[in-house]
Chain A
């Protein structure tokens, strides 16, 4: 039991170590502005990673989320620009944009889920396909360039990313709410139990009268919706979208899930672990930028080491239990 605790607490210990390291390397690290910055940047990947935790726990995978985010951002921007002449620079216009992003996310997630459950195609293949499709669609919509929100709307929309309650900006608040609800669902709801059961052994789930296809579909829909939510908060940051928006977000989200202790093969999901994983990844990035110890170009290498290490530690635990 004690070893199990140490194992589950591993990511937290790593996170605390990183915070101490960061504070030692640069006093600016603990400044509220920096903390806000780190958390707000984590929020996008974070919300997506929470959704990804459900998908992976059920034994699935979604590689399309980065492209999906870019595509949704593009479509939302186009929608807002399109209704602006009629509605004017007004919150109504922005609400329409938000609605488009959320509904689009829902639909895109449903598409992935339906291809996995109804057409019975491997999630890896399905989402590899839709990843290419979304990416190419947004590039096409932007005609190879950038889709930009009208400047009036941009100004109006800006506070959704930069504003908030004191230091705590809206993305941070939204991320926290999503994380808490996600953790609650995984632990205390029937849906969470079913997701874990399916990832643990799909046949047992079916023989327990669980609607396996519906639950799996719901995980993809939930993830799509969270991608939409991330887009709602991301668009006001830059006010634009292009073919290079959200590149590699899928890998960061998956990495965060794995670092947090969710098994890639499914069966056990830890939403709070995912949150810790996201924070670890963005702290590494932040510390490298603040301190001159290592080139920020090595960021990817360090993150890679952490991912492999996290998995090795998990493996060692189960091997030690064997004999």
Chain B
């Protein structure tokens, strides 16, 4: 803040923000300079997204000022801020599900006059996606895209606007290293063009790599500002959490020999082709692979959320899983990566969300609200869900806290086999550790866990064994000392000597 205030494009001065009676930001100062990547980090619920929404014109500060080119300014709305060159990529998607990719990218600034110029929009979109090395079809409907692909469309959409300030709220949370690489390229390009960038991520290695300046937020206050090189990853974590963190990944376990889940020739038409594997009791099995390799489709096929065929045995018993209910009945649960569209009812309170998949445990005829409340108390404590108010809507929780609530919801029916798609999507370092420990504890209780993750270090650190998928098939398996980033990437990209 002290250096070159005159250069600052967009800044907050002594900004506080309250939702109802609860103040979530307390006197925040922050300045964005052209040609600089500024990272904003902090625990879940620290107020990062709130700051970004204020900067992007989606929220008004309760007190304090927003400065545009050094002058106090008020954006009446997000689109108005965008017209002034301030573009936001939100943590939660803002795409129209029933429109095509191209229509979304050009939403609000359609090409052509009275008659839309579809060809120009399609070509423009294709060019943008090409810059991002993304194979998405501009004519595809958003509804049909996977979560990572939707994120890429968000990024393409933001790139298409002529931004002076680009604000990115966890753009990489669901991306694998390939997409993240493409994102870095674009960030470097924009930085060189003098765009001011505000970047938020819980992947601290990214922050160390990208950021010219780092602001650390804790409980709605700026607690630390640092320049590139002044703060390493563990320094960031310490500043965020306020205490030292060590032993990131829990020690690995001793899986039982008995198989919990045997999958033979599982095929999800068009997505997954003849996948076979065995999951043992007490095992944490990682599934790695690039975006589009069929990891989520495999999981959804397995639990009956997509049409599939193949043989499944649970605890040695042949089992037919045609609906998710069948999977639940044999103790098989699935945590979706699509938190907003498939995970939580954003317009319902926490309690309703927590118990939705396990209502029969709360009374046979009349739902016992008191028991539900008790369950919510337990979940809040166990998963460290930070909710300013317990009767708030799930959609008002910060992103990471929504993820914790979703995890609690999936665990409530007490499943024996749990497939977790992106377990720590949007979760801060401190809580990540808790979740890893939690997953390990589940395994040590004799449960079995499949972890699908695009974060390579997470898959390696957490799993006893890793399956690598490529183009809907299992490209290979790594375990023990062979479980290295290099080996996994090689299998995922298909450059290994023996292609499976």
The interface of chain A, by Cβ under 8 A from chain B, is: 188-190, 193-194, 196-197, 200-201, 203-211, 267-268, 323
Nearest 8 CB-CB pairs, A to B? A208-B357, A207-B342, A209-B324, A208-B356, A209-B328, A200-B345, A190-B359, A188-B366
Residues of B within 8 A of A205 (CB): 356
Across the two chains, which residue of chain A brings its CB closest to B345? A200
Is the beta-carbon distance between A323 and B59 smaller than 8 angstroms?
yes
Residues of A within 8 A of B343 (CB): 204, 207
Enumerate B327-352 residues with CB–CB distance to A below 8 Å: 327-328, 334, 336, 341-348, 352
Is the beta-carbon distance between B367 and A197 smaller than 8 angstroms?
no
A266 → chain B, closest Cβ, in Å? 10
| 11 interchain pairs, CB-CB under 8 A | A193-B352, A197-B348, A201-B341, A204-B345, A206-B324, A206-B342, A207-B342, A208-B357, A210-B357, A267-B347, A267-B348
Q: Please, what's the 1-or-0 string for B316-334, where 1 marks a CB less than 8 Å from any CB in chain A? A: 0000000111011000001
Per a CB cutoff under 8 Å, which of B323, B328, B356 touches A197? B356
The CA-CA distance from A203 to B323 in the complex, in Å, is 13
Per a CB cutoff under 8 Å, which of B336, B344, B345, B366 touches A189? B366
Residues of B within 8 A of A204 (CB): 341-345, 356
Across the two chains, which residue of chain A brings its CB closest to B396? A321
The CA-CA distance from A208 to B325 in the complex, in Å, is 8
Is the beta-carbon distance between B348 and A207 smaller than 8 angstroms?
no
Residues of A within 8 A of B59 (CB): 323
> Residue B116 at the A interface, CB < 8 A?
no
A314 → chain B, closest Cβ, in Å? 13
Residues of B within 8 A of A207 (CB): 305, 324, 334, 336, 342-343
The CA-CA distance from A268 to B349 in the complex, in Å, is 12
The CA-CA distance from A194 to B325 in the complex, in Å, is 14
A315 → chain B, closest Cβ, in Å? 15
Residues of A within 8 A of B367 (CB): 188-190, 193
The CA-CA distance from A267 to B394 in the complex, in Å, is 14
Per a CB cutoff under 8 Å, which of A188, A200, A209 touches B347? A200
Is the beta-carbon distance between A211 and B325 smaller than 8 angstroms?
yes
Is the beta-carbon distance between A209 and B342 smaller than 8 angstroms?
no
Across the two chains, which residue of chain B brings its CB closest to A205? B356
Across the two chains, which residue of chain A brings its CB closest to B348? A200
> Residue B384 at the A interface, CB < 8 A?
no
Across the two chains, which residue of chain A brings its CB closest to B58? A323
The CA-CA distance from A218 to B334 in the complex, in Å, is 27
Residues of B within 8 A of A211 (CB): 323, 325
The CA-CA distance from A141 to B169 in the complex, in Å, is 65
Whether A209 contacts B325 in the complex (CB less than 8 A), given A189-B367, A190-B367, A204-B345, comes out as yes
The CA-CA distance from A210 to B356 in the complex, in Å, is 9
* Residue among A188, A196, A200, A208 facing the most chain B CB atoms (10 A cut-off): A208
> Residue B365 at the A interface, CB < 8 A?
yes
* Residue among B342, B346, B352 facing the most chain A CB atoms (10 A cut-off): B342
The CA-CA distance from A211 to B359 in the complex, in Å, is 13
B149 → chain A, closest Cβ, in Å? 17
> Residue B185 at the A interface, CB < 8 A?
no
Is the beta-carbon distance between A203 and B342 smaller than 8 angstroms?
yes
A52 → chain B, closest Cβ, in Å? 21
Is the beta-carbon distance between A323 and B345 smaller than 8 angstroms?
no
The CA-CA distance from A197 to B346 in the complex, in Å, is 10
Is the beta-carbon distance between A196 and B348 smaller than 8 angstroms?
yes
B337 → chain A, closest Cβ, in Å? 11
Across the two chains, which residue of chain A brings its CB closest to B19? A321
The CA-CA distance from A190 to B361 in the complex, in Å, is 11
The CA-CA distance from A204 to B336 in the complex, in Å, is 10
Across the two chains, which residue of chain A brings its CB closest to B393? A321
The CA-CA distance from A216 to B305 in the complex, in Å, is 18
Is the beta-carbon distance between A323 and B344 smaller than 8 angstroms?
no
A298 → chain B, closest Cβ, in Å? 37
Residues of B within 8 A of A188 (CB): 366-367
Across the two chains, which residue of chain B brings its CB closest to A201? B345
The CA-CA distance from A209 to B365 in the complex, in Å, is 19
A43 → chain B, closest Cβ, in Å? 27
Residues of A within 8 A of B58 (CB): 323
A89 → chain B, closest Cβ, in Å? 41
Residues of B within 8 A of A206 (CB): 305, 324, 342
> Residue B60 at the A interface, CB < 8 A?
yes
The CA-CA distance from A238 to B251 in the complex, in Å, is 79
The CA-CA distance from A200 to B346 in the complex, in Å, is 8
> Residue B360 at the A interface, CB < 8 A?
yes
Residues of A within 8 A of B334 (CB): 207
Residues of B within 8 A of A210 (CB): 356-357
The CA-CA distance from A268 to B328 in the complex, in Å, is 27
Is the beta-carbon distance between A209 and B60 smaller than 8 angstroms?
no
Residues of B within 8 A of A203 (CB): 341-342
B380 → chain A, closest Cβ, in Å? 19
Residues of B within 8 A of A201 (CB): 341, 345-346
Residues of B within 8 A of A197 (CB): 345, 348, 352, 356
B302 → chain A, closest Cβ, in Å? 14
Residues of A within 8 A of B346 (CB): 201
The CA-CA distance from A97 to B295 in the complex, in Å, is 58
The CA-CA distance from A206 to B54 in the complex, in Å, is 35
Residues of A within 8 A of B344 (CB): 204
B37 → chain A, closest Cβ, in Å? 28
Across the two chains, which residue of chain A brings its CB closest to B369? A188
The CA-CA distance from A203 to B341 in the complex, in Å, is 7
B160 → chain A, closest Cβ, in Å? 26
Known: A193-B356, A323-B60. 18 other contacts (CB 8 A): A188-B366, A188-B367, A189-B365, A189-B366, A190-B359, A190-B360, A190-B367, A193-B352, A193-B359, A196-B348, A200-B348, A204-B342, A204-B356, A206-B305, A207-B324, A210-B356, A210-B357, A211-B325
A277 → chain B, closest Cβ, in Å? 22
B435 → chain A, closest Cβ, in Å? 20
* Residue among A205, A210, A211, A323 facing the most chain B CB atoms (10 A cut-off): A323
Residues of A within 8 A of B409 (CB): 208
